[in-house]
Amino acid sequence: MTLFFRLKKIRYMQYVCVFTVSLLAGSITMISTWMSPVLPLLNSHETPLNAPLTDTEEMWLVSVQKLGSVIGCILAALLSDAIGRKFILLLSAIPLIISMTTAAFTKSATVLIIFRAIEGIGSGIIFVVLPVYVSEVSDKDIRGGLGIVHLIISSLCGVYVYSAGPFISYIALSISCAIIPLVFVILFIFMPETPYYLVKKGNLNSATKSLKQLSGEGLCDSAIQSKIQEIQDFVDREVRNKGSWKELVFDAANRKALVITLVLRTVLVFSGLFVVLSYLQTLFEQSGSNISPEVSSIIFSVINMPLALTAVFLVDKVGRRLLFLVSTFGCALSLIAVGIYFFLQVNGDVADILWLPTTGLSLYIALSSLGINSIPGVLQGEMFSINVKSIASSFVIIYGSSISFLLLRFFQPLADKFGTHVMFWFFGGVCVVGFVFGMFVLPETKGKTFSEIQELLDKSKKNKDYKLETSKSKF
């Protein structure tokens, strides 16, 4: 136990950095889930806007954030390596603060939609850069756990919105969503830039200072220099060729990493996570559950917390792959069960299973935190070589934001045409596909350095490094 606490003390700054940057993830969750308690109000005659939302305005309001994320991803790809992970993350908070402050006071649906898109720009930057920052400030044995700390912060923020949203004023809820990114800016100013980025830019003195700050008092100067040399060797090896789309596509390890992360992002989006988060209270109202939508939302958000915490402790012990398998299997069962409920609601009798929507959706979100929603970000931050990491992450998030926009934009028309039950069966089917992919394709990266992960993805790299070392030893 003493050793455990000593390790925590040595590396406490890594935890502080990750907690602070995870406030951005919490901000995104608050802004995204803001739609759930607010949407019924905006559609009512008591709306704070000039008039209730039209169907078209509602669909754009729900989905346009993801469209803005595409722009944010492009900016992240261009600026992350140019101005640094820290500075671009600080900039990303500005659209979040402005958009939610505007939302609190505007009377125009058009203005609200425009600023939701602007908020999406900040979200896109965060989705790309946050996993990179976390992976580059974390030691390999705790990188997985720290990589999903943002889910705990997000869960706490979600609990607040779902619990307080139906009971406090529209203005108070909107302003509170702007406070968290403001707190982030104040705290993050004092956090270090990542040593990997500083080494890549040739700023070894700053990299050494950053590493000392992150390592705490537990490492001597020689150990610090050894780690700097390890980072230098990795960076030299990875940036020998300038990062480009060609390097991303034609390098075997990066190509495999790209395919894996795109599939995981597809499973995340088409499992219906963002649909459920945005339409949660509306779905509970449609279900006719014997539990009120407000209470169902609170139950939903509270149940999410334990498995989010569990994922943090297990990801570096049992591994990424097992958590993803358990998550996809459980989510598939939950979503299919909810689909059966909505089918019986139209074609049968649901009097004896009115508890099912609340239970099924709560289990789905909780289980998604265990793997579907956590593992893609962890792997995105650790699978790509450093010279293409920003490009690759941007591409993955652009893809994810684009398909999220399409799904959110057309979910309601598709549900009206084919039935809500068909949409949930589709979401469950995607989880089944994700389970099969995890079983036969997904590699395990637990406890591996970035170099070892690259060798795992491309066995020939290990052989090349071995031959290089052998040839050097002959001289």
Domain assignments of the chain as residue spans, ordered by start = 8-191+241-473
Q: What end-to-end distance do the CA atoms of the chain give, in Å?
A: 48
Summarize the confidence of residues 205-211 as an average pLDDT.
89
Residue 42: C-alpha distances to residues 55, 57, 61, 437, 468 (Å): 11, 10, 11, 40, 65
pLDDT at position 353 is 86
Range in 1-10, 186-195, 443-452 with the lowest mean pLDDT: 1-10
* pLDDT at residue 426, as a whole number: 98
Q: What is the pLDDT of residues 118-168, one digit of tens each?
A: 999 999 999 889 988 998 898 877 877 787 788 789 888 988 998 888 889
95/203: higher pLDDT: 95
> Who's near 30: CB < 8 A, 6+ residues apart?
157, 158, 160, 161, 176, 177, 180
pLDDT at 469 over 70: no
Question: If you average pLDDT over residues 299-305, what whole number do you get?
Answer: 71
Tens-place pLDDT, residues 313-371: 777 788 889 999 999 999 999 999 999 999 999 888 888 888 898 889 888 988 998 88
Quickly list DSSP for 51-73: SPPPHHHHHHHHHHHHHHHHHHH
Task: Please report the pLDDT score of residue 108 as a whole number.
Answer: 95
Averaged pLDDT score across all residues of the chain? 85
Please, which pLDDT band fits residue 16 given cuts at 50, 70 and 90?
very high
Tell me: pLDDT of 63 over 80.
Answer: yes
At 93-109, the pLDDT tens digits run 999 999 999 999 999 99
What would the pLDDT profile of 421-440 be if each residue is shown by its tens digit?
999 999 999 999 999 999 99
* CA–CA gap between residue 393 and residue 364 (Å, rounded): 26
Task: Return the C-alpha torsion angle 32, 402, 362, 116, nearest 10.
Answer: 10
The stretch 16-30 carries a mean pLDDT of 94
Asked whether the predicted pLDDT for residue 204 surpasses 60, the reply is yes
pLDDT computed for residue 474 by the predictor: 39
What is the mean predicted confidence (pLDDT) over 383-387? Answer: 81
Helix-strand-coil split of the chain, %, nearest 5 = 80, 0, 20
pLDDT band at 191 (very low <50, low <70, confident <90, very high): very high
Distance CA 33, CA 24 (A): 14
pLDDT band at 7 (very low <50, low <70, confident <90, very high): very low
Give mean pLDDT, residues 177-195.
95
Burial of residue 456 (number of CB atoms within 10 Å: 0-12, 13-18, 19+): middle
Highest-pLDDT range among 7-11, 103-107, 299-303, 453-457: 103-107
**8-191+241-473 maps to CATH 1.20.1250.20:** yes
For residue 81, what pLDDT band results from cuts at 50, 70 and 90? confident
Q: Best-predicted range by mean pLDDT among 142-151, 243-252, 276-285, 393-402?
A: 393-402
Cα separation, 411 vs 159, in Å, equals 24
- pLDDT band of residue 238 (cuts 50, 70, 90) is low
pLDDT at 241: 58
Confidence of residue 466 (pLDDT cuts 50, 70, 90): very low
CA dihedral 449, 191, 3, 229 (to 10 degrees): 40
Burial class of 18 by CB neighbour count within 10 A (0 to 12, 13 to 18, 19+)? buried
pLDDT tens column, 28-39: 999 988 988 898
The pLDDT of residue 169 is 93
| Interval 439-447 mean pLDDT | 89
**CA 103 to chain CA centroid, nearest Å:** 24
Q: Is the pLDDT of residue 239 over 90?
A: no
- pLDDT range class, residue 468, cuts 50, 70, 90: very low
Reply yes or no on whether the pLDDT at 302 is more than 70.
Answer: yes
- In this structure, of 285-294, 324-333, 376-385, 393-402, the range with the lowest mean pLDDT score is 285-294
**Nearest alpha-carbon partner for 248 in 236, 230, 261:** 261
pLDDT attached to residue 243? 62
pLDDT at 60 over 90: yes
